[in-house]
Structure 1
Amino acid sequence: MSLDWVYWAISWILLFWHSVWDAIGVPVNAVIGTNWAWILSIIFLVVTVRVILFPVFVKQIKSQRAMQALQPKVKELQEKHKGDRETLQKEMMELYRTEKANPLMGCLPMFLQIPVFLGLFHVLRRLDPGKQAKTLYGWTAEQFDSAATAKLFTAPIAGKFGSTADELARLQANGTTVKVIAGILVLIMMATTYLTSRQMILKTGWAEDPQQRMVQKLMLYGIPLSLLVSGAIFPIGVIIYWVTNNLFTLGQQQWVLRKFPPPPVIGKDGKPIPAPAKKAQPTKGGLFGRAKQTDAQPETKPTTPGKALAPKPGARPANPKKGRPAKRQG
């Protein structure tokens, strides 16, 4: 299937935002060798896509809530069909169908953004002064040349860590500068990708379903590590898009998780399971290495009741400092 409609859509959004920033008068290569009009165009491409996909993101959160509510039933099925993986999978699929829960919904927003990523990747790869089809996908020759020479800290947005010497020469770029800027951005891309997955898992918890847990581990560890290799072929503009998208996701998830906190875990008796209380741990310190109490209750010492120490009515008060003389034996 042709993706020309994706390339047209991405080009249109980029050119629209560039015209907006150009009309405002955003500086071009005047501040730290950066064409902010094109950088902001890529950033607001993310904003445009995320606004369009916001309803899908809400469905993703609802699906994750439904999957979390089903965890006690999933655990029961795992105990019931322990050792029979085929029957367990059938029972779990039937449970998801009955409860109208989709385990793959959590990955849907990411999958829907893949065409956008591929479209931007394709468009930025075309920003080569040696290419003849400058007016493809609605670009004018002037817009094409402007984007082809757009830079971030003197590194062209069409350049990449693995750019060849010929490509760098056509872009009039310094190879060391491109590698440094692209390398730093790749590390930021890996870190923010890891943080977005970690944020969601910490709030919703690890899934009991082995299939769901495997997907969580893949998103948490597999994807960030794969970017260490694949990031070498991404143009700098694509990495800017990825990092901006991750930062947008972090903020959006934080807002949604705070506004709609995860539901309490329900036990087999139908009652919510309270979170385990943290035990107070003594910490070393204080005078002569004594342990300090970290519990909320203050330390108490055993005391003798006052009534036991009081003298009886009519009796002389005893003086504990003076002892009685011993009786002589006759």
Structure 2
Amino acid sequence: MSLDPIYYAISWILLRWHSLWDAVGVPDGRVLGTNWAWILSIFFLVVTLRVILFPVFVKQIKSQRAIQALQPKVKALQEKHKGDRETLQKEMMELYRVEKANPLMGCLPMFLQIPVFFGLFHVLQHLKPNLPDHLKQIYGWPLDKFISAADAHLFNAPVSAKFGSSASELAALGADSTTVKVLAGVLVLVMMATTFLTQRQMILKTGWAEDPQQLMIQRLMLYGIPFSLLISGALFPIGVVLYWVTNNLFTLAQQQWVLRKFPPPQMANKGGSTARPAPGTKMSSGLKSPVQPARTGGLFGRKSTPEPASPVVDTKALAPKPGAKPVNPKKGTRPANKPKG
């Protein structure tokens, strides 16, 4: 399957944003060793993608909360089919189907961004100044824009350079090896940290899954992916790493907004706390559940005053102590001494 449509789409978005920044007066030359028009174009490529994927992101949140609400039922199935993994998986898949909860929805936004990520990787790899002119106009790039993008830098490091670029590749880009490695190394570390934080933020808000399969996916997303970037990040062009970091920061802000706007329901007895009774309820003696005041269904729906709770009699306190003389209740108590008169 050809990925040319993705390459054309990414090139078109980059060119449109660059034309916009050029129109509003963002300098195309280097300021502080950076071609800000192209850097902003990469940044707003992320914004464009996230706006398109926002409905999918909302579905991801809803699906994760639906799965969280199903955890008691999942736990009951695990107890019922303990030792029968095949039946357990069938029952859980049926439960997810009936409740319309998709366990894979949590990974869907990331999977949808993978083609864009590799598409940008391919386009930036293609931005080489020493290519023949007929290859510079591929994927809809005008010749002047291609030359400008191929010379784009971020703090004196070409956006198409990598941490693992060879000496010959850096020489072709006219780049300094130390500058490229320092900047690329810092960006890779930031990419790892922000990837970890995006996953941690979601898990802390929605809680760890009870289902072993979901728990494994959560751990893979939280620890596995950031660690893998330590190795694979050396192969990414600086522009791609910048895209990933920007995407993570956008995700952090977006998740924070959604989770504040639509906070997840608190799980019962979460963290060992008990639910507070509603105002006006009484706690019955020896019970942890609130007792609602009695209501009468009068003609006008008036509420009757709650009946006072009967006092609890401590039978142990009334029992005779060992060795004490029994008291005859018929005799009663002796009257007080009357005054002589």
Alignment TM-score > 0.5, same fold: yes
Equivalent residue, structure 2, for 1:233: 235
Match of 2:262 among 238, 260, 263: 260
Q: Matched residues in 1 for 2:219 and 2:87: separation?
A: 24
Equivalent residue, structure 2, for 1:105: 105
Q: What SS does the aligned partner of 1:12 have?
A: helix
Q: For residue 30 of structure 1, report the CA deviation from its aligned partner.
A: 3.7
Percent of counterpart pairs with the same letter? 76
Structure 1 unmatched ranges of 5 or more: 266-271, 279-330
Q: For residue 25 of structure 1, report the CA deviation from its aligned partner.
A: 1.6
1:68-107 CA distances to partner (integer Å, 9 max, x unpaired)? 1100000111111112111111111111111111000011
Q: Matched residues in 1 for 2:232 and 2:123: separation?
A: 18
Match of 2:272 among 273, 276, 286: 276
Contact persistence 1:65–1:262 (CA under 8 A): yes
Q: What SS does the aligned partner of 1:31 have?
A: coil
Which amino acid is the alignment partner of residue 149 of structure 1? D
| 1:137-216 equivalence runs, <5 A | 137-216=139-218
Equivalent residue, structure 1, for 2:40: 40
Contact persistence 2:156–2:179 (CA under 8 A): yes
Q: How many residues align?
A: 272
Q: Which runs of 4+ in 1 moved over 4 A?
A: none
Q: What SS does the aligned partner of 1:160 have?
A: coil
Indicate the RMSD between aligned Cα atoms, in angstroms: 1.2
**Bigger RCO of structures 1 and 2 (CA < 8 A, at least 6 apart):** 1
Equivalent residue, structure 1, for 2:14: 14
Equivalent residue, structure 2, for 1:60: 60
Q: For residue 29 of structure 1, report the CA deviation from its aligned partner.
A: 4.1
Contact persistence 1:156–1:173 (CA under 8 A): yes
Contact persistence 1:63–1:102 (CA under 8 A): yes
Equivalent residue, structure 1, for 2:94: 94
Q: What SS does the aligned partner of 1:28 have?
A: coil
Which amino acid is the alignment partner of residue 205 of structure 1? G
Is the deviation greater in 84-93 or in 47-56? Answer: 84-93
Q: Matched residues in 2 for 1:240 and 1:30: separation?
A: 17
Q: What SS does the aligned partner of 1:53 have?
A: helix
Q: Matched residues in 1 for 2:203 and 2:266: separation?
A: 15
Which amino acid is the alignment partner of residue 273 of structure 1? N
Q: Matched residues in 2 for 1:154 and 1:202: separation?
A: 39
Q: For residue 127 of structure 1, report the CA deviation from its aligned partner.
A: 0.6
- TM value normalised by structure 1: 0.81
Q: For residue 275 of structure 1, report the CA deviation from its aligned partner.
A: 4.7
1:193-231 CA distances to partner (integer Å, 9 max, x unpaired)? 000000000000000111111110000000000000000
Q: Matched residues in 2 for 1:275 and 1:126: separation?
A: 53
Q: Given the superposition, is the C-alpha separation of residues 81 and 238 from structure 1 closer, same or farther in structure 2, using an over 3 Å criterion?
A: same
Q: Matched residues in 2 for 1:258 and 1:274: separation?
A: 19
Q: What SS does the aligned partner of 2:136 have?
A: coil
